[in-house]
Amino acid sequence: MRGKLVGSPVRRLEDLPLLRGRGRFIDDIALPGMLEAAFVRSPHAHARIDGIDTEAALALPGVHAVLTLEDLRPWLVNEELVVGLPSASYRQFRNRPVLARGEVVHVGEPVAVVIADNRYIAEDATQLVMVDYDILPAVSDCRAALVDGAPKVHLDAEDNLLAAFDMGYGDVDAAFRNARHRFRETLHIHRGGSHSIECRGAVAAHDAVSDRLTLWVSSQMPHSTLRVLVDMLGRDENQIRVVTPDIGGGFGPKLVVYPEEVVACIATLKLGHPVKWIEDRREHFMATTQERDQYWEVEIAVDDDGRIQAIQGDIVHDHGAYTARGINLPQNSGESVPGPYIVPAYRMGAKLALTNKIPVTPVRGAGHPQATFVIERLLDRVARELGLDRAEVRRRNLVPASEMPYERPLRSRGGVPVVLDSGDYPRCQQMALERAGWDAFPARRRTAHAEGRHIGIGCANFLKGTGRGPFETVTVRIGTSGRVHVYTGGTAIGQGTKTMLAQIVAEQLGGDVGNVTVTTGDTAATALGIGTSNSRLAVTAGSSAHVAAGKVRDKLLQVAAGVLDATPEDLEIDGRDIIFRPQAGRIANKKLTLGEAAHVLAGTPGYVLPGGMEPGLEATEHVIIDRTPFAGGTAVAEVEVDVETGGVRIMNYVLAIDSGRLINPQLVDGQAVGGTAHGIGNALFEWMAFDENGQPLTTNFADYLLVGACEMPRVEVLHQESPSPFNPLGVKGVGECGVVPAAAAICSAIEDALAPFGVHIRKAPISPPEIIALIDEARRPSAAQYSR
């Protein structure tokens, strides 16, 4: 649908308080009597704990408690966070204990907590807690973890294989047997942390009168947090409320439920004071989940024209020390390699290796950037080997518009069929290439070469399943004040969810976005909710909001028709009024306000409701989303490489995306550009380094490099709007569109710039020293022969 509001760049509801410094983030919450927590964390990647001495810490003035797992046990009916997504492929279950249970398996694992008057004192006391560690061998590299005889990540494990699975379709062996050309690649893709500028945090408070526990938490999924708390604390749902304040960015890891949140709840129950824990940046590097390494061995079979016959391969995936989410990342990666291309036969195997490192869970893109890197590297290889234009090889393999919807014989982790829903992929690629001046590039390169400069261009197509179901709850209610209230289980993490929902609702209820209040991420406001992940809210919550607003509108018009003695067809909702605009011959302009209409259905004791209507001017919807809309598109990057320093400058960047109908183009562009910045980080900068003993080496923002304003090119975003047939709004998610193709496009461009040297790039990110090393290697005669 497109209307007055839906499809227009409405200014955000969120902005005014944030611009004035009046947002309310987790650390802005201050309650009377509130204490602050700091955690004692393991400095070792693997150790047995032989004892914890808390005496000196407890003696420090201002310290209220020092708690270990033993101290928490009276409040726990279950001391592990059981959160893994279901899968038949697990070989072992590795849930996180709420605090260390005799063994620590990664640096940063919480061992004990200090509760003190303030964070300064709490940190003083953590230095006084004496933990007796017996250091054990650790395993850091996920490939090494799977070798026979590798140190065990967990003492009681037989090996480090957490899970293994295969996926695919078609007769892969026959396709490879009969193929004219086969090319093999070994690729390594590293991603890093989320690094929302706001770290995590939690504030827990207990109202002893009602025995109700409230947890404010910087989370993408408060309803999951509630379920975990119910499981672990043995309390009823109605004794716990989990609520999200303003959230300073999520990017994936905040969808995970964490031990610190549970500990804060128990501490407040034990001490009778509200307890706050605010993660600092160093903790974020050591205790917030990350995405890290995937090592791929892949092979592609093509015919003489470069048409794909089959792809096969294997992934080794770094899972970290615990299961904090599941097998979903390599599942996503494996499922996404075929992407927007026709791949007649496909097989991908995955092994998930436990390592003595922070658990791995989705970061913006969730396995898709890796898959995109893999398929796009393979296609560049095909183009190079067959002497074809890289864009042309892609065009030949893209699913054409005439094939839509295109079903691929794969299933998602939840058994949902993979059906590419809509769009004209070749046209989208063409649009990007034209804007980026792909055809004129050789002339630019000649000019640059004459000046001694090395420039290159690269392109990458991508597809991202978005709007993962099964639903997101939305309630739309008009109060007797005349204000429209919208409640959703989805969580606002900075992406403009409130504005997006207000636009959809206001479209049908008077057109005044300013008359809509949106409440997100509060388990007291919506009993059912899933939360924010996987670019899902516009699809799921948007659809529910659209349908719920439509139902409220129907009801509103029915009430007004009764009161104004009109037919609904003669009524129009304008701002906060329902106005009677008769077709012909009757006196005009009688009106009823939204508030008055709400009064009618609010009920009066002893009086019947008009027309046998249901009470309340409200509707709650959970539109079922059982098919995934695929957003996708093409990124084209043009770079200059300084072949003496290895420095890379992105000179031009075009991103053409198809994210279905646009609800708010300005917000969509903001997501696309912001995601691209993250992707540029994954291509060139972000490297979460560990040594061979599992010690993290990049635990501050001077060593772990986020993209700054000077490294960021201006990104041109182009749109192809192909409505998805799978939801009533025709939308697809956009939150991850920027990040997915970036590393693939940029690395392709770097390789192109270095074509005179015959350099091939097989990993991301790629750093300046690595670029120099590749050039050096390629210059050695033997290496040059090898690379042919």
Instruction: Identify residues 251-310 at the interface with other proteins (CB under 8 A).
Output: 251, 280-282
Residue with tokens 């037989």: 158
* Closest distance of CB 536 from other proteins, Å: 17
Q: Which is nearer to other proteins, 660 or 670 (CB)?
A: 670
Q: Which two tokens stand for residue 547?
A: 């349908």
User: What's the N-to-C CA distance of the chain in angstroms?
Assistant: 53
Of the candidates 50, 53, 78, 127, which one interacts with other proteins according to CB under 8 A? 127
Binding to other proteins (CB under 8 A) within 731-770 occurs at: 738, 767-769
Q: What are phi and psi of 116, to 5 degrees?
A: -140, 175
The least CB distance from residue 316 to other proteins, in Å, is: 23
DSSP assignments along 612-677, one per residue: GPPSSSEEEE-----S--EEEEEEEEEEEE-TTT--EEEEEEEEEEE-BS-S-HHHHHHHHHHHHH
Shortest distance, position 595 Cβ to other proteins, whole Å: 26
What binding mask, one character per residue, do residues 23-62 give for other proteins by CB under 8 A, x or -?
A: xxx-xx-x--------------------------------
CB atoms inside a 10 Å sphere around CB 134: 12
Binding mask 199-218 for other proteins (x = CB under 8 A): x-------------------
According to CB under 8 A, which residues from 63 to 122 bind other proteins? 118-120
Stretch that binds other proteins, among 225-233, 263-271, 303-311, 705-713 (CB under 8 A): 705-713
- Closer residue to other proteins, CB minimum distance, 422 or 695: 695
Q: Which is nearer to other proteins, 341 or 687 (CB)?
A: 687
Within 476-535, the residues that bind other proteins by CB under 8 A are: 493-496
User: According to CB under 8 A, which residues from 585 to 624 bind other proteins?
Assistant: none
Residues 625-654 interacting with other proteins (rule: CB under 8 A): 644-647
CB 143 within 8 A of CB 316: yes
Q: Tokens at residue 88, please?
A: 């038949």
Pairing of strands 161-169, 96-97: unpaired
Return the residue matching tokens 């991420």. Answer: 521
Q: Closer to other proteins at the Cβ: 323 or 534?
A: 534
Residue 374 or 774: the one with the smaller Cβ distance to other proteins is: 774
Closer to other proteins at the Cβ: 36 or 380?
A: 36
Spatial separation of the C-alpha atoms in residues 759 and 774, rounded to whole Å: 6
- Count of residues interacting with other proteins (CB under 8 A): 79
Residue 138, token pair as written in the block: 């650790």
Least Cβ distance, residue 674 to other proteins (angstroms): 5
State which of residues 2, 7, 8, 18 lies at the interface with other proteins (CB under 8 A).
Answer: 18
Give yes or no for a contact between 349 and 168, defined as CB atoms under 8 angstroms apart: no
Shortest approach of other proteins to residue 378 CB, angstroms? 28
Q: How far is the CB of 244 from other proteins (least distance, A)?
A: 12
Query: Which residue number, 315 or 677, has a Cβ lying nearer to other proteins?
Result: 677
Instruction: Name which of residues 419 to 438 contact other proteins (CB under 8 A).
Output: none
Q: Identify which of residues 62 and 595 has a Cβ nearer to other proteins in the complex.
A: 62
DSSP readout, 252-285?
Answer: SGGGS--HHHHHHHHHHHHHSS-EEEE--HHHHH
- CB nearer to other proteins: give 184 or 780: 780
Sheet with 763-764: list strands edge to edge: 161-169, 345-354, 308-320, 293-302, 181-190, 763-764
Q: Give residues with Cβ within 8 angstroms of 509, minimum separation 6.
A: 476, 478, 484, 516, 549, 552, 553, 556, 573, 594
User: What is the smallest separation between the CB atom of 297 and other proteins, expressed in angstroms?
Assistant: 27
